[in-house]
Amino acid sequence: MTGETYRALVASEESNGLVAPSVKELNISSLPANEVLIQVKYSSLNYKDALSATGNRGITRRYPHTPGIDACGTVVYSAHPEFHKGDQVVVCGYDLGMNTPGGFGQFINVPGSWVMPLPEGLSFRESMMLGTAGFTAGLAIDRMLHNGQAPENGPVLVTGAGGGLGSLAINILSGMGFQVIAATGKTADAGYFRSLGAAEVIAREEVTDQSGKLLLRPRWAGVVDTVGGEILSSVIKSCKPHGNVAVCGNALSYELHTSVYPFILNGINLLGIESATWPMIRRRQVWDKLATDWKPQMLNEISKEISLDELPHYIGLILKSNIRGRVFVNMET
Ligand SMILES: NC(=O)c1ccc[n+]([C@@H]2O[C@H](COP(=O)([O-])OP(=O)(O)OC[C@H]3O[C@@H](n4cnc5c(N)ncnc54)[C@H](OP(=O)(O)O)[C@@H]3O)[C@@H](O)[C@H]2O)c1
């Protein structure tokens, strides 16, 4: 396939030194040599992709570069014993789209250890409606369940509720019988959060402690936090004894100021959620649950399909927190 070309969103350094994304034609032979060549059908847009597409060197060291931490599609060539031409597969995380050309290209070439079969029960489209955001929500919930989270313990708070991870976490948790509280900057969209299954919708300011107290009135039995910073430090203080706080993201801040009291007096479990390198065997277990019992009922309502040509516009929107739910990309349009 060496002479063949494909379309990709390429982030390149411009004459002013800034990095900006645009759609370009590339040769398949320009992909790094690897074990599994995949024709990408769908990808998805995550916050990290937007950072990579606009020159964040903490994520992507060298440009030009094709971002996209998620991809699904069909195997074109495989030198890996588990995969064969024609197999339907998914790749999420590892180094895809970071410093390896990612899912915003119509072809990717990756190590077999990053590839998993498309989970039974999911279509290609659904796998990317979920993508890394859905997998991370599933992983957080899985870790919380292993630490004793149960609906009868009390409600679960989801922060950054309007984002992809937050929206999916609400819908999965409510489907499992949890009472869910959504904390958001988009309280005007209360109807949306209720349609996902949130029992209560509160402004993000309502969860942010101004008192400086070391412990607060217990309000929730668990938290899926996607924002970090003072919201995370506040929700830890308001968690019921032996509750779980899953630390997923830093949409507000990477900082966390806290004391030992929530942990030594209330037994709070702080669970670090890292999706990119989660071991494949356990990764597949979470994906299998997402494809069956935990499948979000409102996946279509949470997700918006766009074309490759529309991606630069949506990258701008996600950076301004101007997107609700998930955006996934049809790579054939
Ligand atoms: N740990 C992992 O492996 C992993 C995997 C995937 C994502 N993440 C991280 O998780 C976070 C959420 O990901 P996502 O895909 O859901 O992103 P997203 O779709 O961009 O959503 C982020 C949400 O965060 C909230 N937010 C944004 N700016 C805020 C601010 N200044 N203060 C408070 N809240 C703010 C907004 O929620 P409202 O709309 O409700 O106001 C926004 O919708 C990101 O930091 C991402 O990097 C981590």
The structure's pTM equals 0.97
Triad 163, 169, 171: Cα angle to 5°: 105
Which CATH number is 132-272 given? Answer: 3.40.50.720
Domain map (residue ranges) of the chain:
5-118+298-330, 132-272
**Residue ID of nearest Cα to ligand 1 atom 22:** 163
Q: Tell me: the pLDDT tens digits for 113-131?
A: 999 999 999 999 999 999 9
- Digit-coded pLDDT (tens) for 158-174: 999 999 999 999 999 99
What is the 226 CA–ligand 1 centroid distance (Å)?
A: 5
Mean confidence (pLDDT) of the chain? 97
* Ligand 1 mean position, distance from CA 79 (Å): 37
Contact assessment for residue 114 and residue 94, using Cβ atoms and an 8 Å cutoff: yes
Residue type for position 331: M
Outline where the chain has alpha helix (H): 47-53, 124-146, 164-175, 190-196, 204-207, 229-237, 261-264, 280-291, 299-302, 311-319
Q: 108 phi and psi, to 5 degrees?
A: -130, 155
Q: Classify the C-alpha dihedral 319-182-119-304 as positive or negative.
A: negative
5-118+298-330 under CATH 3.90.180.10, yes or no = yes
pLDDT tens digit sequence for 187-208: 999 999 999 999 999 999 999 9
Helices 164-175, 124-146: axis angle to 10 degrees equals 70
191 contacts: CB under 8 Å, gap ≥ 6? none
Closest ligand 1 atom to residue 250 Cα is: 45
Q: To test the ligand 1 pocket, which listed residue (52, 142, 165, 271) has its Cβ within 8 A of the most ligand atoms? A: 165
Q: Specify the pLDDT at position 18.
A: 93
Helix (H, G, I), strand (E, B) or coil at 316: helix
* Interval 76-117: pLDDT, tens: 999 999 999 999 999 999 999 999 999 999 999 999 999 999
User: How many of the other CB atoms lie within 10 Å of CB of 64?
Assistant: 15
**Ligand 1 atom at minimum distance from 160 CA:** 37
Q: Give ligand 1 pocket residues (Cβ under 6 A).
A: 46-48, 132-133, 136, 160-166, 184-186, 204, 226-227, 248-252, 273-276, 318, 321, 323
Q: What is the DSSP letter of 189?
A: G
- Tokens, residue 222: 């668990």
